[in-house]
């Protein structure tokens, strides 16, 4: 049976495409999902793709990923990156390889965006590649899991 990875998106990511397009681009969250599905498929990985504006729901999904024995997780915690001890604790408890991703280069932006709690539990961090960062994150995760591209 295929291994499953979760791709989780935090608050306001549902607005991709119309939200500050000069920073986040014109691609929508549906486009991001399509990209993630195509990339996961190349590695024979099943994908759970989710977005929530609620911190607790994101915590529930990280716990779910652990309970369902997911192989790993990609997370764009968005506005919760620098505030959520709860998401950090959920990731530490889940003990899944987690990749943190940001569409923008957070180090080029306001300093408050740069102190990530999530990074303390992440295997790797990707930022600044636009939505391509999601594909890079899935590739990197597959590499960590020792899974080769199928075709």
Sheet of 46-51, strand order: 46-51, 4-9, 72-76, 98-102, 124-127
- Give 116's contacts (C-beta < 8 A, 6+ positions apart): 77, 81, 82, 100, 106, 122, 125
In the block, which residue shows the tokens 């959920």?
90
Q: How far apart are CA 103 and CA 2, in angstroms?
A: 28
Single out the segment in contact with ligand DHK by CB under 6 A; choices: 39-47, 63-71, 101-109, 135-143.
101-109
Does residue 114 bind ligand DHK (CB under 6 A)?
no
134 is an active site residue: no
The one catalytic residue among 6, 66, 80, 102: 102
DSSP label at residue 148: P
Q: Does 16 bind ligand DHK (CB under 6 A)?
A: no
CB of 2 to ligand DHK, least distance (A): 27
Q: One symbol per residue from 58 to 87: x for binding ligand DHK (CB under 6 A), - otherwise; what is it?
A: ------------------x-xx-x------
Comparison of 3 and 12: residue with beta carbon closer to ligand DHK: 12
Torsion of CA 140, 118, 116, 135, to 10 degrees: 30
The DSSP bridge pattern shows strands 46-51 and 98-102 to be: unpaired
3-state helix, strand, coil in the chain (%, to 5): 45, 15, 35
Check if 24 is active-site: yes
Stretch that binds ligand DHK, among 54-62, 63-71, 97-105, 118-126 (CB under 6 A): 97-105
Nearer CB in complex with ligand DHK: 78/96: 78
Which one is catalytic: 6, 24, 117, 134?
24
Residues that bind ligand DHK (CB under 6 A): 12, 76, 78-79, 81, 102-104, 106, 113
Active site residues: 24, 102
């Amino acid at each position: 049976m295929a291994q499953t990875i979760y791709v989780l998106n935090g608050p306001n990511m549902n607005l991709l495409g119309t939200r500050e397009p000069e920073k986040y681009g014109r691609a929508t969250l549906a486009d991001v999902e399509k990209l993630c599905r195509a990339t996961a498929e190349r590695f024979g990985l099943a994908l759970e793709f989710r977005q929530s504006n609620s911190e607790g729901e994101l915590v529930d999904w990280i716990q779910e990923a652990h309970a369902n024995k997911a192989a790993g997780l990609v997370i764009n915690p968005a506005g919760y990156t620098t505030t959520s001890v709860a998401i950090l604790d959920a990731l530490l408890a889940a003990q899944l390889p987690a990749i943190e991703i940001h569409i923008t280069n957070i180090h080029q932006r306001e300093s408050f965006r740069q102190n990530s709690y999530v990074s303390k539990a992440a295997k790797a961090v990707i930022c600044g590649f636009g939505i391509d960062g999601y594909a890079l994150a899935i590739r990197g995760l597959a590499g960590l899991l020792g899974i080769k591209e199928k075709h």
